[in-house]
Amino acid sequence: MSQKSIKLISLGLILLAVSCSSGPYGPTNKVYKKQTKELSKTMRAIPVNSTGQDFVGTTNFGLRKPNYVIIHHTAQNSTEQTLKTFTTAKTQVSAHYVIGKDGVIYQMLNDYLRAWHGGAAKWGNLTDINSSSIGIELDNNGFEQFSESQIEGLLTVLSKLKKTHNIPPANFIGHSDIAPGRKVDPNINFPWKKLAENGYGLWPDQVITDSVPESFNPIEALRIIGYDIKNPENAIKSFQLHFVQKELTGILNEEEKQILFNLYKKYL
C-alpha cells in the first residue's frame, strides 16, 4: 500500500455498511450504533422546563465543533491491542482515531462526539479537554521511532480535521502538553517539526537571532503558550519534550530560553 493511498477505515461506517458483520468488532459496532441512537433520542427530546414555561426551540444552532487535536502514543504493543482496549467498556478510555505503524487509520468515533482520551488535563484556561478536542492515538510502545507510513497517515487525518473543523495551527498539541508530569506522549521521537512545517502546531524559527530581554519571565511565557505551571519543573519538561527533544531536565538553559522566547512571541 503506497503512502499516498492510506486507507481510512471507519468502524462506524463499517457498521452501517455491514450491520450483520460477524467480524471481531461486530459486537462493539452494535454497541456503538445503539449508544449513538440513544444520544440522538436525547438530543431530539423537548426539554422539560421546571418553571412551567413553554419550551421555545430556536432555529439557530449546530453541532459543537472540536477546536483542538491531541496526539498520543498508545503505550501498548500493537494496534490490535489498542483497538481491544478501546472497545472494552471497563477500560473507560477511547480516542477518535488510531493509526497503526503501517499507516492504516481506524476511525473509532464521530468527530463531534466526546472521546475519553485526555484525562485530568489543562491547556490555558481550558480544563475539560475532552469536550473540545479530537484524540489521535499512534501505535507506539512509548520508546519506538514513528514510521514514515504512520506519520503520512497522521498527516492525512490532520489535513481532513483542519479543513473540516477549521482548527488553528497552534491547537495541534500533545498529551504531554496538556498533562505535565502525568503524561509523556507522544514520545521524544515524535516529529513535531515536520508537523509544524505542514501547518499543524507551531515551531521555533530555524535560526533564532533574538536576544532574550532581562525582563523575560520563562514561567509566565509557558503559561501564555498554554502550559499548566502549577508545577514549573513539570511544565518545563513538557516544553522540552515537545520543542527541544533532548534531555528532559526541568531546567531551562540559555539556548532553551531563546527557543521559549521565540515561541512565546508566536503565541501572543
DSSP secondary structure letters along 56-99: ---S---PPPP-EEEEEE--SS-HHHHHHHHT-GGG----SEEE
Cβ atoms of 172 and 158 closer than 8 Å = yes
Q: How far apart are CA 219 and CA 228, in angstroms?
A: 10
Active-site position among 80, 137, 148, 254? 137
- Whether 220 sits among the annotated catalytic residues: the reply is no
Q: Residue 62 has which C-alpha cell?
A: 449546530
Q: Look at residues 140, 136, 145 and name the one whose alpha carbon lies nearest to residue 76.
A: 140
Taking the C-alpha atoms of 37, 42, 43 and 48 in order, what is their torsion angle to the nearest 10 degrees? Answer: 160
Amino acid at 218: P
Percentages helix, strand, coil for the chain, rounded to the nearest 5?
Answer: 40, 10, 50
Catalytic amino acids? 137
